[in-house]
């Protein structure tokens, strides 16, 4: 009898694990059956593409789907959509499932009957959900009309409906949507601000501290200034703590302390948290961020594997646990889990915290990227780094100064004073800035020193770079500042 793999969750991590399990099984001549259960009706979609769908870059929801359920099934995966896993029995090796209440699917299980799925291997790929403050929800747990997070394809569909003034939930309307409020100054916040400005909405961004709190404040201030230059009102030191709502229940504003910021729609970008209730109920241990704690082979218990946004990862620099929900890690961790459960031996080698985004609207073009720990993380004794960290900001241009492609770029370098090791790089600048972070990520991955980066043979031609690439200039200046 073939061994059965059950995967819970059919997005990047789960489906990478499913396909990789089949591939590795074939390679090893092991008969592997893979069953995937997915609560929603969507699979393998790009959550990161949602702001661009809202902005108008993406034609429709189908465009954001990398592989359809039919395509997964054609590859030999028993994919069961609109199917909720309700319990895991690790001793009996059984997952209990039932049709989703709102699945709308015809079929024998439509009465909500629970059934048991036995497994030899289990992959938990239950993902993350957006952090949602209580005030964003009505008493029945649905979104306050006009308010929404940006995580699922359903969120995307709802946003297009909201912005068309068509309604939300039970509230139908045909109001004109003129003013948007974004709560949260991180990646989703910046991207939704771009989407709103590009749609012509008057936009306010509310954030507790400086925007992009995962970068050092001097870089956050550059982004802040760019947002304002694009016409975005930025309210820092404003913790959103409630809503004003009209007679019809539609949001009219966001309260932040004593202030009310008027808005016809409100996008929540407050981060995500691992969806691990099922795993916790099964007795699996969770970390400080609430995520599963897989070993480097992505195993969380014998024969039980975790992958993607429901997991905490290991920071490659420092070795501490860190929660970084991102499709790149989900894909890699899924591959690692799928390889290992079918008898292979793969390792997930950790995260640097590399991230990139942009704000391109209102006449501004700002690219934002980072890799490695922040200054605070690097200085935190708990991270295992505990180093004397030196930080240096260097201003340069993205191309030779005399070329039309030359735009300002700010490069912040973090290094360890004693070992001269590169610890992190953060970038904010014009077109051509963002992807330069991969030069640094590649160097960080290989444990390079700032001297190594200063010596590297990086590419130069006038439309692409000054003679010394900005990342290299910054590392050379850091090397000089550390003495010899």
Is there binding between residue 245 and its own copies (CB under 8 A)? no
Please tell me whether residue 442 binds its own copies under the rule CB under 8 A: yes
Confirm or reject binding of residue 464 to its own copies (CB under 8 A).
yes
Instruction: Write down the least CB distance from residue 88 to its own copies, Å.
Output: 28
Phi, psi angle pair for 140, to nearest 5°: -90, 10
Question: CB neighbours (10 Å) of residue 481?
Answer: 13
How many secondary structure helices (H) and strands (E) does the chain include?
Answer: 12, 28
Interface with its own copies (CB under 8 A), residue total 70
Is residue 350 within the footprint of its own copies (CB under 8 A)?
Answer: yes
Closest-CA residue to 177 (of 190, 191, 195): 195
By the rule CB under 8 A, 459 interacts with its own copies: yes
Interaction between residue 353 and its own copies (CB under 8 A): yes
Pairing of β 265-268 and β 179-183: parallel
* Residue 455 binding its own copies, by CB under 8 A: yes
434 belongs to the binding site for its own copies (CB under 8 A): yes
Span of 97-105, 201-209, 240-248, 443-451 interacting with its own copies by CB under 8 A: 443-451
Q: Which is nearer to its own copies, 177 or 368 (CB)?
A: 368
If binding is defined by CB under 8 A, does position 435 make contact with its own copies?
yes
How wide is the angle at C-alpha 350 spanned by C-alphas 424 and 5, nearest 5°?
A: 155
- Judged by CB under 8 A, the residue of 149, 254, 453, 474 near its own copies is 453
User: Hey, how many other C-beta atoms are within 10 angstroms of the C-beta on 281?
Assistant: 11
Phi, psi of 455 (to 5 degrees): -90, -15
Q: Is 415 in the site for its own copies (CB under 8 A)?
A: no
For residue 87, the SS3 value is: strand
**Please, what is the minimum distance in Å from the beta carbon of residue 140 to its own copies?**
34
Q: Which is nearer to its own copies, 206 or 440 (CB)?
A: 440
Query: Per residue in 352-383, is it b (16+ CB within 10 Å) or e — as a string?
Result: bbbbbbbbbbbebbbbbbbbbbbbebbbbeeb
* Options 329, 420, 421, 477; binder of its own copies; rule CB under 8 A: 329
Does 356 bind its own copies (CB under 8 A)? Our answer is: yes
Contact characters 170-189, its own copies, x per CB under 8 A: -----------------x--
Sheet holding 3-8, edge to edge: 78-80, 32-37, 3-8, 121-124, 304-306, 299-301
278 exposed, middle or buried (CB, 10 Å; 0-12, 13-18, 19+)?
buried
* Contact set for its own copies, span 27-56 (CB under 8 A): 46, 48-49, 52
> Is residue 443 within the footprint of its own copies (CB under 8 A)?
yes
CA-to-CA distance for 388 and 317, rounded, in angstroms? 14
HSE, CB side, 13 Å, CA atoms: give it for residue 8: 30
The site map against its own copies for 304-323 (x = CB under 8 A) is: ------------x-------
Site for its own copies contains 357 (CB under 8 A)? yes
Q: Which residue of 331, 364, 374, 426 would you call a contact of its own copies, by CB under 8 A?
A: 331
Smallest distance from the beta carbon of 307 to its own copies, in angstroms? Answer: 14
Considering the complex, what minimum distance in angstroms separates the CB of residue 196 from its own copies?
17
- Residue 326 CB coordination number (10 Å): 21
Report whether 426 contacts 369 (CB < 8 A).
yes
Q: Which is nearer to its own copies, 88 or 413 (CB)?
A: 413
99/114 Cα distance (integer angstroms): 8
Judged by CB under 8 A, the residue of 32, 37, 64, 192 near its own copies is 64
User: Smallest gap, in angstroms, from Cβ of residue 268 to its own copies?
Assistant: 19
Which of these segments, 32-40, 105-113, 293-301, 341-349, binds its own copies (CB under 8 A)? 341-349
- Of 310 and 399, which CB lies nearer to its own copies in the complex structure? 399
Count other Cβ atoms within 10 Å, centred on residue 288: 12
The CA distance from 263 to 144, in Å, is: 13
Binding site for its own copies (CB under 8 A): 12, 46, 48-49, 52, 57-59, 63-64, 187, 316, 326-329, 331-332, 344, 348-358, 360, 369, 371, 400, 402-404, 432, 434-443, 445-448, 452-453, 455-465, 467-469, 471, 484
């Amino acid at each position: 009898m073939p061994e059965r793999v059950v995967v819970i969750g059919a997005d990047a991590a789960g489906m990478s694990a499913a396909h990789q399990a089949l591939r590795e099984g074939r390679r090893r001549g092991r008969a592997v059956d893979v069953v995937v259960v997915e609560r929603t009706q969507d699979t393998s979609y790009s959550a990161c593409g949602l702001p661009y769908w809202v902005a108008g870059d993406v034609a429709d929801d189908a465009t954001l789907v990398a592989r359809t359920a039919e395509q997964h099934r054609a590859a030999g995966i028993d994919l069961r959509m609109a199917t909720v896993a309700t319990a895991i029995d690790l001793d009996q090796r059984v997952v209990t499932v039932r049709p989703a209440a709102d699945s709308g699917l015809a079929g024998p299980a439509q009465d909500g009957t629970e059934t048991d799925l036995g497994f030899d291997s289990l992959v938990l790929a239950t993902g993350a959900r957006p952090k949602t403050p209580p005030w964003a929800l009505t008493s029945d747990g649905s979104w306050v009309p006009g308010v929404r997070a940006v995580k699922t394809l359903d969120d995307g569909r709802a946003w297009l409906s909201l912005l068309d003034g068509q309604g939300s939930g039970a509230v139908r309307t045909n109001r004109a949507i003129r003013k948007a409020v974004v709560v949260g100054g991180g990646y989703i916040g910046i991207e939704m601000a771009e989407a709103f400005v590009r749609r012509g909405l008057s936009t306010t961004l509310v954030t507790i501290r400086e925007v992009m709190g995962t970068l050092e404040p001097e870089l956050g201030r550059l982004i802040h200034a760019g947002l304002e230059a694009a016409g975005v009102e930025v309210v820092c030191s404003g913790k959103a703590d409630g809503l004003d709502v009209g007679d019809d229940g539609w949001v009219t504003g966001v309260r932040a302390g004593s202030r009310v910021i008027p808005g016809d729609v409100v996008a929540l970008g407050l981060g995500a948290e691992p969806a691990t209730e099922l795993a916790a109920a099964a007795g699996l241990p969770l970390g400080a961020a609430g995520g599963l704690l897989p070993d480097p082979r992505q195993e969380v218990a014998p024969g039980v594997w975790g992958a993607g946004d429901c997991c905490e990862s290991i920071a490659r620099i420092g070795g501490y646990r860190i929660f970084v929900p991102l499709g790149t890690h989900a894909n890699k961790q899924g591959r690692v889990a799928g390889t290992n459960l079918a008898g292979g031996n793969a390792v997930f080698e950790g995260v640097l915290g590399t991230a990139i985004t942009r704000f391109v609207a209102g006449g501004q073009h700002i690219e934002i990227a980072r890799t490695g720990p922040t200054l605070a993380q690097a200085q935190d004794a708990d991270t295992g780094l505990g180093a004397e960290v030196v930080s240096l900001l260097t201003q340069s241009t993205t191309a030779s100064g005399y070329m039309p492609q030359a735009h300002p770029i700010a490069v912040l370098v973090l290094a360890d004073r004693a070992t001269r090791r590169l610890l992190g790089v953060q970038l904010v600048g014009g077109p051509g800035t963002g992807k330069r972070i991969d030069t640094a990520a590649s160097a960080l991955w290989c444990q390079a020193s700032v001297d190594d980066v200063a010596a590297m043979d990086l590419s130069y031609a006038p439309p692409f770079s000054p003679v010394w690439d900005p990342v290299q200039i910054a590392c050379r200046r850091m090397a000089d500042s550390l003495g010899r």
